[in-house]
Amino acid sequence: MIEFTDHLDLETLSAHADGELNAVVAARAKRHLDACAACRAQLEGVRHLVAAAHDLPRSAAPPPEVWTEIRARIARERAGTSAGTRTAHWWHNGWLAAAAALVLVAGT
């Protein structure tokens, strides 16, 4: 039977914490965790992170002034840039990227 010889990767630790590993892989991971303090500590960190994520509000909205600033920046960029460069550099706008990340996090 193949055993984990290196530390468990984050994907395996997350799947283990969520109970998503099949029985064979879960048993191998458990044997490794029993012998590896570093992986046990990392697993506890994953569990703590998951618990903290469950405690987050299900919906979050940025303050209205953030959306106002985003709209204003978009309008300035549209007025000051050609269409070709505008689409090529949309991600450079930090506020827009932050708003997009917030929407993604709030939607999960």
Rounded to whole angstroms, the maximal C-alpha distance in the chain is 65
Question: If you average pLDDT over every residue of the chain, what do you get?
Answer: 79
Give yes or no for a contact between 87 and 77, defined as CB atoms under 8 angstroms apart. Answer: no
Burial bucket for residue 29 (CB in 10 Å: 0-12, 13-18, 19+):
buried
Query: Highest mean pLDDT: which of 19-23, 87-91, 95-99?
Result: 19-23
pLDDT digits (tens, 9 = 90+) for 45-64: 999 988 888 888 777 777 88
Q: Is the pLDDT score of 65 beyond 60?
A: yes
